[in-house]
Amino acid sequence: MLMKDESSVNRLFPSDAITIARSRCQLKILDEIHAICTSLNTRFWLRGGWAIDFLLGRITRPHDDIDLVAWVRHREKIERSLIDAGFQCIPVSTS
């Protein structure tokens, strides 16, 4: 899992504003990922809640994460580019 720190956003805003701020932060992250993948000439696809919201053209609910899919052959270069852009690689437990 790759992520950027959202803790500063969570400290600054009350509950409803946190939802709005988190959505804006996640949209900014999606824009960054899109720019990185475009520069690498690779594609990615949204899954889960954000995929539904993009299909509907509106944000329907708060999201805890961003689910993306890319071709496995591009994984290492995407991961390396995201880390270079300031994202962190966090191991996900499989248990």
pTM for the complete prediction?
0.68
Nearest to 54 by CA among 77, 85, 83, 23: 23
Cβ-contact 4, 29 below 8 angstroms: yes
User: Mind listing the pLDDT tens digit for each residue in 54-64?
Assistant: 888 888 888 88
pLDDT at 34 over 80: yes
The region, left, alpha or beta by phi > 0 then psi within -120 to 50, assigned to residue 23 is alpha
Residue 69: strand pairing partners: 45
Q: Residue 44 has what pLDDT?
A: 92
Q: What's the confidence (pLDDT) of residue 59?
A: 83
